Each structure stands twice: as C-alpha cells, then as structure tokens.
Chains A and B, each alone.
Chain A
Amino acid sequence: MSVDLSLDYFSLFGLPCRFRLDETALDRAWHALQTETHPDCHAHLPENAQRAAMQEALRINEAYITLKKSVTRARYLLELAGMSPDAINENVVAPEYLFEQLEWREAVQEAREANDVDTLEQLALRLQIQMAGVVTQLAGQLDEQRDLEAAADTVRRLMFLDKLRLGIDNALAALDD
C-alpha cells in the first residue's frame, strides 16, 4: 500500500490542514499520487492488490475534488472539526440575505428572458467579486478566529452564491447557442 487510507485529505497530499490553500502544491501532489496509484501500474499484480490500488485512486480523486473548491474544502474542515453535514445544511440563513438572493435570481431570469448577454456578464462579474469577498471572510473565520459557527453561516451563504453562479453560467451557455 502506497497510500494510508486513514489519513485526512490534507495529510494525504502533505498539505497543512487549513482553508488557505497552495493550489499549485495540491495539483502537484495529486498528479504524483495519481501516477502512483493508476490502475495501469498495477495490472500485473494479483487481483486483491489491484482492488486496493483502485480504492486508493478513488480516495485520492475524492480528496482532490473536495479540497479544490473553496465551498467543499470549507465544509470538509467543519466536518473534521466535528460538525455534522446536516448541521451545515440547516435552513438557518438570515431572511435579509435570502431576499438578496431572490433579487439576484430575478435579475438573472429577466436578463435571460431578454437575451441580454451584457447584463448577465455584468452580474457574473459582480458575483465573482462578492464571492471573492466571502471566501476571504471564510479564510479568517476558519484559519485565524477558529469560529466554527460563523464559518458555517458563511459556508451556507457561499452555497447559495454557488447555485447562483451555476444559474448565470447556464443562462450564458443557453444564449450562446
């Protein structure tokens, strides 16, 4: 076995267990481990060793996908700290924030119905700036303040923004055709 399956995702890649991420280091470590565990390299081994290698490869990819995106990385850190997925998913976001989300969705829908690519691109840009701010806030809450409740609240907000981005991307893709 080349990979210790009991390790957390950060240790798996030899990265510090925190939100701020050296993406280049993650990519490099992932490529190295992927090469090591690739099924082709184990085709000559007995079946049980092949199966073990397959499991390692799956875990490495799952770890990579989780750490790569800020929202899933933050959720993972909260889970490592003992918070349950259900607690993170709780419907407890402040109504004021949800009103704001509703307005965003309305703006996207109107622009989409009007075939207004310019407005959609402006919305995408505004969203990108807002998301960058939320990610910075999250880094402080997770890495410095270690305030899990506050971080969970920020993660929930980021989940809505992620959904919004998907909506804008879909609208732009639909208008492109």
Chain B
Amino acid sequence: MTYSNKVLDHYENPRNTGSFEQGEEGVATGMVGAPACGDVMKLQIKVGKDGVIEDARFKTYGCGSAIASSSLVTEWVKGKTLDEALTIKNAQIAEELALPPVKIHCSVLAEDAIRAAVADYKKKHGE
C-alpha cells in the first residue's frame, strides 16, 4: 500500500508529539484504542480559561495513517472551543489525508480521541 504525501509528511514530521507535564492546568486526556489493529492513541488538549483549546499533544502507537490522523487532529483542534472541536469528523480527516478505505478506521480513532479528551475535560471541570 502506498501512503499519500500528506500522510508521509505527518508521519515523518509529526506535529505536537509527547505529553504535557502532569497536573498542568487545563489539560485533559483522551485515550482510545482499536482492538482490531492494536493501535493505541493518546490525545491531550490544553484548554485556556476562555474555553479555547490553546495547545494539543499526541502519542500514538500504530500505523502511519493512525499517526498522521492524530498529528493532523492536534493541529486542527488548536484555537477551537470544545464544542467546535467536537464538530471535527473522521470523514474530514480521511479526506484531508486521502486515506484509502482500509484505513478509514484510523481517522475514526482520531475522532474518538477528540471526543474522549473533551469528555475528560468536562468530567474534570464538572460540566
């Protein structure tokens, strides 16, 4: 299988990898995994007092498409409110990265990661 140039770009130069310091203010974590392929994806968001996502980090163990999907998502969520971040759909991720049908599940996982991170933030902040 050949990866699109955009997937290769994110795979070779992943944006925003790693983790925030533990206990850092406004940080929430989404942790998702797909049993079928064994991929594990961690997405962290850092939310400012105004409710806007200031920064994001990811750590993904999986194929190139899973890494590219999560890398792209860290770029996309920045500057968005939580509700705006929730409007990001896997179809947009798949389209941007030109993912083939067998790799659509990687973009689904990235969408799930956004939902999980937002849910974690709301849980921590009693919303």
B32-40, B65-73, B76-84 - the one binding chain A: B32-40
Cβ-closest chain A residue relative to B34: A91
Q: A164–B116 Cα gap in the complex (Å)?
A: 23
Q: Are A91 and B112 in contact (CB under 8 A)?
A: yes
Known: A105-B40, A159-B38, A160-B38. A95 touches B61 (CB 8 A): no
User: What are the residues of chain A within 8 A of B61 when measuring CB–CB?
Assistant: 101-102, 105, 109
| Those of B54-113 within 8 Å (CB) of chain A | 59, 61, 108-109, 112
**Interface assignment of B7: CB less than 8 Å from any CB of chain A:** no
Q: Are A156 and B35 in contact (CB under 8 A)?
A: yes
User: What are the residues of chain A within 8 A of B116 when measuring CB–CB?
Assistant: 95
User: What are the residues of chain B within 8 A of A99 when measuring CB–CB?
Assistant: 31, 42
Contact of B40 among A101, A156, A162 (CB under 8 A): A101
For B11-34 the 0/1 string (1 means CB < 8 A from A) is: 000000000000000000001111
Chain A residues within 8 Å of chain B by Cβ, number: 20
| Those of A140-169 within 8 Å (CB) of chain B | 155-156, 159-160, 162-164, 166
Q: A105–B116 Cα gap in the complex (Å)?
A: 21
Q: Are B35 and A91 in contact (CB under 8 A)?
A: yes
Q: Are B59 and A91 in contact (CB under 8 A)?
A: no
How many whole Å from A91's CB to the nearest CB in chain B? 5
Best-buried of B36, B37, B40, B108 by chain A (most CB within 10 Å): B40
Residues of B within 8 A of A (CB): 31-38, 40, 42, 59, 61, 108-109, 112, 116
Other than A91-B33, A95-B32, give 5 A-B pairs with Cβ distance below 8 A. A88-B35, A89-B35, A95-B116, A101-B40, A159-B38
